[in-house]
Amino acid sequence: MKQKTILITWGMWYIWSHAVVAFEEAGYKTVIVDNLDNSCLSTYRSIWEILWYKPDFYEVDLRDKEKLEEVFKKYTFDWVLHFAGLKAVGESCEKPLHYFDNNVVGSLRLFELMEKYSVKNIIFSSSATVYNYDNEIPYVETQNIWETTNTYATTKFLIEKILNDLSKFSWFNVINLRYFNPIWAHQSWLIWENPEWIPNNLLPFIMKVAIWELPYLNVFGNDYDTIDGTWVRDYIDVVDLIDGHLKAYDLIENLDFSWFIDDFNLWLWNWVSVLQILEASKKAIWKDIPFKIAPRRSWDIAEFYCNPSKAKSILWWEAKTSLQDSLKNAWKFYNK
């Protein structure tokens, strides 16, 4: 059987480098395009150390259609895993036009070439932030998704809608995977989330405080209508998350018809508050995490988590790594 070739956008970034490794280990050929805007070439060496070879890589910005088309001319792609997109919520509210240009315009250039070269299968890395904040918690795939609270979420919503029409009118096979707060790293400890700058995500911030790289954690608000006044989220181990992408791929590969679109939540199904994750971190690493209460941020909401039951029933997927195990694994790396 012919080996399938998969284009992976932004495959050098923390989460998506895991997808490169997972799909290569599953027997697929991957081709990475990444503009290195939010990643670095050291990840390429880490992928090589895990696989013992380097998948094909091209430093290309998706908005540069001419350079991107050069990649499409070299390969016959069967699939696209579309991960490219800036993701810092706060920054997106400060620079909305930059996010629309990078995330939406870049996606359009990609979709144009997929149409031109008859690449009609795509898994899109969406986000649970597309759900209306006033939906009943936990969010499910049938709920409304048009009242977003920040520009990052709006870009994901717009791309989902574009893909919906491409599926309806251009016969694209589409799966939108919605998730939030992936944590920890590959079991090799060679690819992980360890930003050199001030982290946007909670777990690396906690770990950097634990190793005294940062003095304390800011907890943004303690007066929400939640169990302890701090906002509540769910988390998912990145290895489980990428397994969900493999399951989504298998679903469309095994279909008996040629047109498909669906959405799936990928979550651990174990939501916790900020103070609860601080307590869980303390138990996992045997260290107190200094923190200070800071003012609320305008884009935060009190509770944000989803129901992953649909993914379990249709994709035969569920998260297997507990939050406590993810925290212990993170500490092993940072402590080392």
Clarify whether residues 229 and 254 are in a common domain: no
pLDDT in tens, the chain (336 residues): 789 999 999 999 878 899 999 999 999 999 999 998 877 788 899 999 999 999 999 999 999 999 999 999 999 999 999 998 898 888 899 999 999 999 999 999 999 999 999 999 999 999 999 998 888 989 999 998 878 889 999 999 999 999 999 999 999 999 999 998 888 777 777 776 655 556 567 888 898 898 888 999 999 999 999 999 999 999 999 999 999 999 999 998 887 666 788 999 998 888 899 999 999 999 988 889 999 999 998 888 899 899 999 999 999 999 999 999 988 888 877 776
In the block, which residue shows the tokens 């990928």? 266
Cα–Cα distance for residue pair 133/156, rounded to 1 Å: 15
Indicate the burial class of 212 (C-beta count within 10 angstroms; 0-12, 13-18, 19 or more).
exposed
Closest CA to 80 of 217, 248, 271: 248
Cα gap 317→305, rounded to integer Å: 17
**Ranges assigned E (strand) in 254-298:** 260-265, 272-273, 291-294
State how far the Cα of 236 lies from the Cα of 215, in Å rounded to an integer.
Answer: 26
pLDDT of residue 127: 93
Catalytic (active-site) positions: 152
Looking at the structure, tell me whether residues 246 and 276 fall in a common domain.
no
Buried b (16+ CB within 10 A) or exposed e, 131-152: bebeeebbbbbeeebeebbbbb
What is the per-residue pLDDT for 255?
78
β-bridge mates for residue 70, sequence order: none
Instruction: With respect to residue 257, please indicate whether it lies within any of the assigned structural domains.
Output: yes
CB contact set of 294 (below 8 Å; sequence gap of 6+): 218, 219, 220, 221
Same domain, 85 and 216: no
Burial 158-174, CB ≥16 within 10 A → b, else e? bbbebbeebbeeeebbb
> Is 191 within a domain?
no
Do 149 and 166 lie in a common domain?
A: yes
Q: Are residues 132 and 224 in the same domain?
A: no
- Let me know if 232 is exposed, middle or buried by CB neighbors in 10 A (0-12, 13-18, 19+): buried
Q: Distances from the Cα of 94 to the Cαs of 90, 91, 107, 146, 227, in angstroms? A: 7, 5, 21, 20, 30
CA dist., res. 11 & res. 245, Å (int): 14
Read off the CATH number of the domain in which 330 is found: 3.90.25.10
187 belongs to a structural domain? no
Phi/psi-derived region of residue 189, left when phi > 0, alpha when psi is between -120 and 50, beta in every other case: left
Task: Looking at the structure, tell me whether residues 288 and 261 fall in a common domain.
Answer: no
Q: What span, in angstroms and rounded, lies between the C-alpha atoms of 159 and 50?
A: 32
Q: Are residues 253 and 275 in the same domain?
A: no
In the chain, what is the straight-line distance between the N-terminal and C-terminal CA atoms, in Å?
43
Rounded to whole angstroms, the Cα distance separating 300 from 219 reads: 12
In a shared domain, residues 226 and 176 = no
Give the E-state strand segments of the chain in sequence order: 5-9, 29-34, 56-59, 79-82, 121-125, 173-178, 182-183, 217-220, 232-233, 236-237, 260-265, 272-273, 291-294, 303-304
Give CA–CA dist 152/89, Å, rounded. 6
Among 152, 62, 151, residue whose Cα is nearest residue 107: 62
In 3D space, the residue among 305, 263, 273, 308 whose CA is nearest the CA of residue 137 turns out to be 305
Q: Are residues 133 and 30 in the same domain?
A: yes
Same domain for 120 and 212, yes or no, is no
Domain that holds residue 313: 202-233+269-335
Q: Is residue 76 part of a domain?
A: yes
